[in-house]
């Protein structure tokens, strides 16, 4: 039998493929103030009643047990995490949990101008901002909303609050924003921040016939490499899903999230908690352990721990989705927590 990873006397959470799980992505809401075309239908999604969402106290119970099993990093996501009321309070509650040493958030940025400072004070460590285009008209088409000025203001406020470097995420769509890679890269580098380009994934609302919208890292590099003098990064964080490249002239970093052309499942350390309390082993695997029922039926620490171990055991070795194999989650991205 293979050895289990042990740290400070605890058998850490690991899966059937000896991957240690140290990172939990928590969706705090399914709601969103945007309607990005690759993530949500124009009319939005049917929302679960409020009472079905995990409360802050329930989320904290989960994280506390997770931390005992070796979780050390949390990411708040959604839906749009900043539309969940009193988010800084949740950050403060998670920050107080022993063993959690990083709390990050992925956001569309539109509410950051009011929230960046309270989030920083509450203990949020890092922010990733989704920004697919800098052109107002295109932004309106992609998000089906008109928030670009608010997002840009949010970027400034986040930097002013001390969230440096920021990471900007752009989903690259063929024929829609793939002519903006250089502009986006420059925008991030001018703010001493990092640009990350995401290969579009045809899942949920992003239909099968949209598959040819995916632009691979290879294609993106063909456009950027010479212009920005990019070379592969020599040292990187093994748990970072982004493939790192560095601009030789400036030392600035750019990342590519290659879920489609070269998945990074071999080093996956993640698990997800949906807003309704499902513990999900993988973004692309429609399997969940119902943690909410465990919590609401008075489940004790051992039962929550058991739910974590069951979810870890469900984890596949890797997802099969690529440009030719259209296996994609039936759930919209917005309902899983990207
Ligand atoms: N609302 C927040 C935001 O937009 O940053 C957090 C949730 S969003 C679902 C998380 C990330 O998933 C975003 O960076 C978004 O661009 C990305 N995303 C959504 N749908 C996607 C798709 N079909 N393919 C690739 N990335 C996607
Ligand atoms: Fe909302 Fe983020 Fe999905 Fe856009 S990508 S619709 S901002 S959850």
Domain residue limits, the chain: 6-336
How far does CA 109 lie from the centroid of its chain?
14
Q: Are 112 and 157 in contact (CB under 8 A)?
A: yes
How far does CA 176 lie from the centroid of its chain?
22
What letter does residue 183 receive in the DSSP assignment? H
Give CA–CA dist 197/216, Å, rounded.
10
Q: Are 240 and 258 in contact (CB under 8 A)?
A: no
Ligand with smallest separation from the Cα of 133: 1
Element (H, E) at 88: helix 87-95
- Pocket probe for ligand 1: among 39, 80, 176, 336, the residue whose CB has the most ligand atoms within 8 Å is 39
Q: How many CB atoms lie within 10 A of CB 156?
A: 13
Taking the CA atoms of residue 111, residue 117, residue 120 and residue 121 in that order, the dihedral angle to the nearest 10 degrees is -130
> Distance, CA 238 to ligand 2 centroid (Å)?
27
If one looks up domain 6-336 in CATH, what number appears? 3.20.20.70
Q: Please give the number of the atom of ligand 2 that sits closest to the Cα of 35.
A: 6
What letter does residue 47 receive in the DSSP assignment? P
* Region of 147 on the Ramachandran plot (φ > 0 left; ψ -120 to 50 alpha; else beta): alpha
Question: What pLDDT is attached to residue 185?
Answer: 96
What are the average pLDDT values for consecutive 10-residue runs of the chain, which has 338 residues?
Answer: 63 87 95 93 91 98 96 96 98 97 98 98 98 98 97 98 98 97 96 96 70 92 92 79 90 91 81 96 85 97 96 79 51 61
Residue position matching structure tokens 């039998």: 1
Cross-strand pairs, 279: 273, 289
> Distance, CA 107 to ligand 1 centroid (Å)?
9
Q: Residue 90 burial (CB < 10 Å; 0-12/13-18/19+)?
A: buried
> Distance, CA 57 to ligand 1 centroid (Å)?
26
> Distance, CA 187 to ligand 1 centroid (Å)?
20
Q: What are phi and psi of 94, to 5 degrees?
A: -70, -40
Looking at the chain, which runs of residues are DSSP E strands? 6-7, 10-11, 23-27, 73-77, 102-107, 126-130, 167-172, 194-199, 230-232, 242-247, 253-257, 270-273, 278-280, 289-290
How far does CA 46 lie from the centroid of its chain?
22
Tell me the whole-structure pTM to 2 decimals. 0.93
Give CA–CA dist 244/188, Å, rounded.
15
Question: What pLDDT is attached to residue 82?
Answer: 98
CA distances from 85 to 29, 36, 80, 143 (A): 10, 22, 11, 22
Element (H, E) at 122: helix 112-122
Give CA–CA dist 180/2, Å, rounded.
48
Question: What pLDDT is attached to residue 1?
Answer: 45
Give CA–CA dist 73/252, Å, rounded.
25
Give CA–CA dist 269/27, Å, rounded.
17
Q: Please give the number of the atom of ligand 1 that sits closest to the Cα of 336.
A: 9
Give CA–CA dist 327/35, Å, rounded.
23
Alpha helices in the chain (DSSP H): 56-68, 87-95, 112-122, 136-143, 148-160, 181-190, 217-228, 291-296, 301-314
């Amino acid at each position: 039998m293979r050895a289990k990873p042990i740290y400070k006397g605890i058998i850490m959470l690991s899966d059937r493929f000896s991957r240690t799980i140290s990172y939990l992505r928590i969706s705090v809401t399914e709601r969103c103030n945007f309607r990005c075309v690759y993530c949500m239908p124009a009319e939005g999604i049917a929302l679960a009643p409020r009472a079905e969402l995990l409360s802050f106290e329930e989320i904290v119970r989960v994280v506390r047990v997770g931390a005992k099993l070796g979780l050390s990093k949390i990411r708040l996501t959604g839906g749009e995490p900043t539309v969940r009321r009193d988010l800084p309070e949740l950050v403060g509650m998670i920050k107080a949990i022993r063993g959690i040493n990083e709390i990050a958030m992925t956001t569309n940025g539109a509410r950051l101008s009011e929230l960046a400072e309270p989030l920083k004070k509450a203990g949020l460590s890092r922010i990733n901002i989704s920004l697919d285009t800098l052109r107002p008209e295109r932004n309106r088409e992609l998000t089906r909303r008109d928030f670009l000025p608010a997002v840009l203001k949010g970027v400034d406020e986040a930097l002013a609050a001390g969230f440096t470097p920021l990471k900007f995420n752009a989903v690259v769509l063929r024929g829609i924003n793939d002519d903006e890679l250089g502009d986006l890269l420059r925008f991030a580098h001018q703010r001493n921040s990092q640009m990350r380009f995401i290969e579009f994934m045809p899942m949920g609302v992003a239909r099968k016939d949209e598959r040819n919208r995916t632009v691979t890292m290879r294609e993106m590099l063909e456009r950027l490499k010479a212009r920005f003098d990019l070379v592969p990064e020599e040292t990187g964080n093994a748990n970072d899903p982004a493939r790192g490249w560095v601009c030789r002239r400036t030392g600035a970093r750019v990342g590519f999230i290659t879920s489609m052309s070269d998945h990074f499942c071999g080093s996956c350390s993640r698990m997800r908690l949906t807003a309704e309390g499902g513990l999900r082993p993988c973004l692309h695997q429609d399997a969940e352990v119902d943690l909410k029922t465990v919590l609401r039926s008075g489940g004790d620490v051992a039962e929550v721990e058991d739910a974590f171990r069951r979810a870890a055991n469900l984890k596949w070795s890797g997802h099969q989705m690529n440009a030719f194999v259209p296996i994609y989650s039936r759930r919209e991205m917005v309902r899983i927590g990207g």
